[in-house]
Amino acid sequence: MTSLDNPADTHGQMIAASKVNGTAVYNTAGENLGSIYDVMLDKASGKVDYAVLSFGGFLGIGERYHPLPWNQLTYDPQPNGYVVNLDRRRLEGAPTYEADDLSLWDERRSADIDTYYGTGPGFGPAPGLGDAGPGIPGAAR
């Protein structure tokens, strides 16, 4: 049971933010793209806007952080991770940041990410992003 002593022990529809961190992210082909390093919350609404994906590097060296629009991730209980309709090449060209840069979040950074992925206010579905689709059997939609 979830408690204040163990917020990571969650089941069902809700999940503690501490449990999201470290969760694997896959593309629809089943390729592991990395893991969630952190989530970015809107201060006013309390909703998650971005998942910060840890991508590349080895043993923490050379690792870069790619914020992904949260609404593009779909949880898949099999393989117990998130799925995004995004190939590795597109991810490699996305805006990236150092871990220390994440504390400097501002509206321009959000706009740059939303423009790159074609998401956010005023954008329709982006090419290469969206519903997890049929790529991973059992992908939640």
Q: Is residue 33 in a domain?
A: yes
Q: What is the pLDDT of residue 10?
A: 57
Secondary structure class of 112 (helix, strand, coil):
helix
Q: Is residue 140 in a domain?
A: no
Output the domain CATH number for residue 102. Answer: 2.30.30.240
Question: What tokens does 76 get?
Answer: 């898949």
Q: Which of 7, 140, 15 is nearest to 85 (CA)?
A: 140
Question: What tokens does 33 get?
Answer: 């793209």
Task: Give strand pairing partners of 58.
Answer: 61
Q: What is the pTM of this model?
A: 0.72
In sequence order, what are the residues at sequence separation of 6 or more whose Cβ sits closer than 8 angstroms to the Cβ of residue 134? 28
Domain tally, the chain: 1
Diameter over CA atoms, the chain: 42
pLDDT, averaged in runs of 10, over the chain (141 residues): 49 80 93 92 89 75 82 89 91 81 75 85 49 38 31
Q: Is residue 27 in a domain?
A: yes
Tell me how far CA of residue 78 lies from CA of 21, 30, 33, 93, 128, in angstroms.
18, 11, 16, 28, 22
Question: What tokens does 22 get?
Answer: 């470290």
Question: What tokens does 67 get?
Answer: 């914020």
Q: Is residue 25 in a domain?
A: yes
Q: Is residue 49 in a domain?
A: yes
Parent domain of 42: 17-121
Q: Is residue 109 in a domain?
A: yes
Q: Is residue 78 in a domain?
A: yes
Beta strands in the chain (DSSP E): 24-27, 32-41, 48-55, 64-69, 74-76, 81-84
